[in-house]
Structure 1
Amino acid sequence: MSPALRHLGKDLIVTTLFVTGLASYALADETTLKPDQFANASALYATHCTACHNGDRLGGMGPALLPESLERLRGNSIADVIAHGRPATQMPAFDQTLNTADIAVLADWLRQPLAEMPGWSMADIQQSHEVFVEPATLPDTPQFDGDPLNLFTVVEAGDHHVTILNGDTFEPLDRFPTRFALHGGAKYSPDGRFVYLASRDGWVQMYDLYSLQTVAEIRVGLNTRNVAVSDDGRYVMAGNMLPHNLVLLDARDLTPIRNIPVISKDGKSSRVSAVYTAPPRHSFIIALKDLPEVWEISYADDPRPVYPGFVHNYEANMVEALDVQYGPFPIRRIHLADELDDFFFDQEYRHLIGAARNGRDGQVVNLNVGRKIADIALEGMPHLGSGITFEYQGHQVLATPHLKDPKISVIDMETWKTIKIIDTQGPGFFARSHDNTPYAWVDVFFGPHKDVVHIFDKRTLEIVKTLRPEPGKVAAHVEFDRSGKHALLSIWDDDGAVIVYDAATFEEIKRIPMRKPVGKYNVFNKITYSAGTSH
């Protein structure tokens, strides 16, 4: 049994256990439940849930049960899980223990927010940290046959596992358990040796791709958005939705270095939408959910070159001009007119392209000068984080699907004008390509045609093929192998699969059964920041 799996039963979650099953904080909004229902739900939680999820709902052997943790379970999903359990997990079914009314009131109670934001201090972070294998004892070379840079990390959400897939043979090398609701975006060390994984429950896991074993684990928060790895391989930065902070870790073994509250100058705090690394700038870029700001945190030993044009006036002018907080890991605040929900970067990391929360506008921010330089027509909620870039008729262009509209926008990255709208059979989620293929693949993630994937020609911006790999099941998230000769697509279903296609002929080569493979991440494409995949 792997160290990570053994660790699932250990209670490193809270420093204080509550002897009652009542939540440790009063609920912020009790109006949806009558007093007797509230009392009944509290008692039900105390009796049936505390042992695994703890009295404060912050998690234990089971995941945290907070609105932030459960936001993806919509409609009757929470009640269904309570009633029927979760396959391949320790969550039992309660339909023979509780009646329908009790299950419904307990599900409603779990959706109630806490009146106070539960804290997760540096002491809590440090206490959760565990190193399973000393990095100094790890082997110097891969312990398997194959190209270590052509591996895929496949996140299987169906039963909270990760499969390491050999990109040469398309055979699994390892399959190991993860924490609850792992975020799809695996991040790699610059040499491609280590992969860092973050769960919505706040856990960050470090895995060695040479020896195929978990190295370390730490809980950085209660609800984590994602992680990023510095381009020099020294640091991992985690961004949290709960609490509102950033946590800086030592990439060698996840030892915590710094806890950074995300607070504006006037004292307002914000959730973190995402953390990115900007390799040419040697900095982390932070997207904020509740503040009209973008943060840039330099991890360079000398941060001055991060801000071109201000180097010669560094001591005299930079604080006023760029609003920089000095000291180790200086925070630069770029003030905007609106909060941005999603980000995209050009390949040079000179420009940040953001989607505004109003779902109509996009804006281009020049990171060198720290201000908006252009607006973009991006109605229909583009999913910029999954956009791609490529050359079209001598111009670098951005192609992005939209979460609400059945279309792909293609935007000239010199004029920032839309040069083409490609109509699709429904709103999409992911676009993917590779430098060695003339084609781009875009899924139709939402609506009645969620089982189709469009392939368009980057030379003509016309759809040349539409695939329906598994009728009735969501087909999504294409990722290419290192060479660009193969495209891997997911069937997002508990009884799902990763399908390997010939990228030139679009013919299916192999189908690998998987438990809802929500994402696949090729080592080489990620560490080289391929224009055809997300960064």
Structure 2
Amino acid sequence: MADRTIAGRTGAGRSGPVARTARQARKWLAPLALAAGMLTGCAAPLRGTGDLGVIIERAAGRMQVVETTGMTQLATVDGLGDLSHASVVFSRDGRFAYVFGRDGGLSRVDLLEARVTHRVMQAGNSIGGAITQDGRVVAAQNYAPGGIRLFDAATLEPLADIPAIGEDGKRSKVVGLADLPGRRLAASLFESGEIWIIDANDPRRPQVTRLRAGREPYDGLVTPDGRWYLAGLFGEDGLSLVDLWQSPPMAQRILSGYGRGTAPLPVYKMPHLRGWAMAQDMAWLPAIGRHEVLVADPARGWNEAARVALAGQPVFVMARPDGRQVWVNFAFPNNDTVQVIDTATRQVVRTMRPCRGVLHMEFTPKGEAVWLSCRDDNRVEVYDTTSFSRLATLPADNPSGIFFTVRAQRFGM
């Protein structure tokens, strides 16, 4: 209507310069008017996504959307299926969370609108996934049927299905899936003892490089610079290491026989390597069947540099973003305990018992606080990482994984 009024008065017609100016003004003013309406209470205010995150409520098939600045819950999202071993990755802008459920469901959740935008049942049993460097392809790692499936990140349209068939011709569970530089992925095959490097530059025709790893790789870690992929080995003392800068990549064994001379202890819960435990230029790794963290030195051939004795069997060994601390949680019966290692002295400087069933930990983007999920006490605790004082408590129904959008800017997360 404004275009017709202005054109009629000037005689320039609807395509005249004044009309074009009016259309341009309307184009630019419309978003501002929408923002003004949101800020005056017509809808939720505009906000960024850099301090957002999610808490998985495993028993309810639901997740909370939270913000770390005020340490509050913003919304809940239901209908996410079996979240008993859920994992989450984020779009590169931090707006969308991709939730991988144990039942094989893959859900794309809009964190700002707190709703599921797309959902597919892509497997029978899934334990996580990854998103490529450019944010265009989401990959799911599956137990049943064993394999990796690629999806368009915007629509969840299937792009490729890569069966995890080892050299023995049998299907294998896939673990340790991580994104790499160059639009590649790395994954480990548990039964077949292989590491696969997957080139996803053409996601409809991915190319696979197969490497021998060792007995039963159970999880994988990519170093922050994207150069090294480490796979823990459940079936033997040691880890498998791949130099991703080498062409073609080669796998080598490191820390072989770290338990030599002593009987391994019972393993009540599989350790995890996905904690980015790289600090002080060292790798801090949970030892299978031991109450220890192993410290390996990449500058000296990844040889053992130290060990730190712990209160129990470590599950997550996670480095604070500045690398000064490593926080460790434990398997049953010590899963009420968290220990903090000072990486400068390689000593445990704090032992805490914040709650029952500490399943996961997540640092805020710059590490001034850490969030702990307390499954058996139905809450999440937030602690200051300098004073170790409790900052906040949030109610949650059997919480497990906590994931913050800062992961979108890191390899292997």
* TM above 0.5: yes
Superposed CA offset, 1:17-55 (max 9, x none): xxxxxxxxxxxxxxxxxxxxxxxxxxxxxxxxxxxxxxx
For residues 486-497 of structure 1, the aligned pairs below 5 Å read 486-493=369-376, 495-497=377-379
> Runs of 4 or more off by more than 6 Å in structure 1?
139-142
Q: Per-residue CA shift, 1:419-472, capped at 9, x if unaligned?
A: 11111111121122333462221112322x3211111112111111111113xx
Structure 2 gap segments, 5+ residues each: 1-33
Deviations 1:161-206 (A, max 9, x none): 1001111111111112220135332101122111100111111000
Secondary structure at 1:383 match in 2? coil
| Aligned residue in 1 for 2:386 | 504
The answer to whether the aligner puts 1:295 opposite 2:199 as a matched pair is: no
What whole-Å deviation, never above 9, does each CA across 1:485-531 have from its counterpart, x for those lacking one? 111111121x421111112111001111111211111111x12228x
Q: Distance in 1 between matches of 2:362 and 2:341?
A: 15
> Could you tell me how far 1:146 is from its partner in structure 2?
4.7
**In the aligned structure 2, how far is the partner of 1:390 from the partner of 1:362?**
15
Higher strand share: 2
Any conservation in 1 of the 2:176–2:231 contact (CA below 8 Å)?
Answer: no
Match of 1:104 in 2: none
Q: Is the 8 A contact 1:194 1:209 kept in 2?
A: yes
* Percent of paired sites with the same residue: 23
Partners of 2:389 and 2:106 in 1: CA distance: 37
Partner of 2:329: 443
1:209 — aligned with what? 111
Counterpart residue identity of residue 423, structure 1:
A
**2:368 pairs with 1:485:** yes
Does 1:376 pair with 2:255?
yes
- Cα offset, 1:147, TM superposition: 4.1
Give the direction of change, closer, same or farther, for the CA distance of 1:475–1:230 in structure 2 (3 Å limit): same
| Matches of 2:176 and 2:252, distance apart in 1 | 22
The Cα offsets for residues 355-403 of structure 1, whole Å up to 9 and x where unpaired, read as 22324122222232332334214546783523434443xxx11112235
Structure number with higher relative contact order (C-alpha < 8 Å, ≥ 6 residues apart): 2
2:397 aligned with 1:515: yes
CA RMSD of aligned residues (A): 2.5
516 and 349 in structure 1: CA distance in 2 versus 1, 3 angstrom threshold: same
What is the CA-CA distance between 1:481 and the residue it aligns to? 1.2
| Paired amino acid for 1:358 | G
Secondary structure in structure 1 of the residue aligned to 2:50: helix
Aligned counterpart, 1:222 = 124
- Give the 5 Å matches for 1:83-162: 143-144=44-45, 146-162=47-63
The 1:360/1:228 distance shift into structure 2, 3 A limit, reads same
The answer to whether residue 346 in structure 2 is matched with residue 467 in structure 1 is no
The one-letter code of the counterpart of 1:488 is W
Cα distance in 2 between the residues matched to 1:431 and 1:245: 27
- Unaligned 5+ residue runs, structure 1? 1-138, 304-326
1:330 match: 207
Counterpart position of 1:257: 159
SS at match of 1:180: coil
Query: Secondary structure of 1:248's partner?
Result: strand
Measure the CA separation in 2 of the matches of 1:227 and 1:197. 9
CA distance in 2, matches of 1:267, 1:386: 29
| Cα distance change, pair 240–435 in 1 and its aligned pair in 2 (3 A) | closer
Structure 2 CA distance for aligned equivalents of residues 210 and 244 of structure 1: 34
Match of 1:48 in 2: none
| Contact 1:428/1:446, CA 8 A, preserved across alignment | no
- Conserved in 2, the CA contact under 8 Å of 1:433 and 1:479? no
Aligned to 1:362: 239
CA shift, 1:483, in A, is 2.7
- Alignment equivalent of 2:71, drawn from 166, 170, 191: 170
Post-superposition Cα deviations, 1:143-165, rounded to whole Å, max 9, x if no partner, equal: 54554111111111132210011
How many residues align? The count is 361
TM-score (norm 1): 0.63
Alignment of 1:391-430 (within 5 A): 391-392=279-280, 396-415=281-300, 416-430=302-316
> What's 2:230 paired with?
353
What CA distance in whole angstroms lies between the structure 1 residues aligned with 2:188 and 2:197?
Answer: 9
Name the CA shift for 1:196/1:253 in 2 (closer, same or farther; >3 Å): same
With over 3 angstroms needed to count, the CA separation of the structure-2 counterparts of 1:292 and 1:452, relative to structure 1, is closer
Distance in 2, matches of 1:349 and 1:270, equals 25
Letter in 2 for 1:371: M
Whether 1:342 and 2:219 are equivalent positions in the alignment is yes
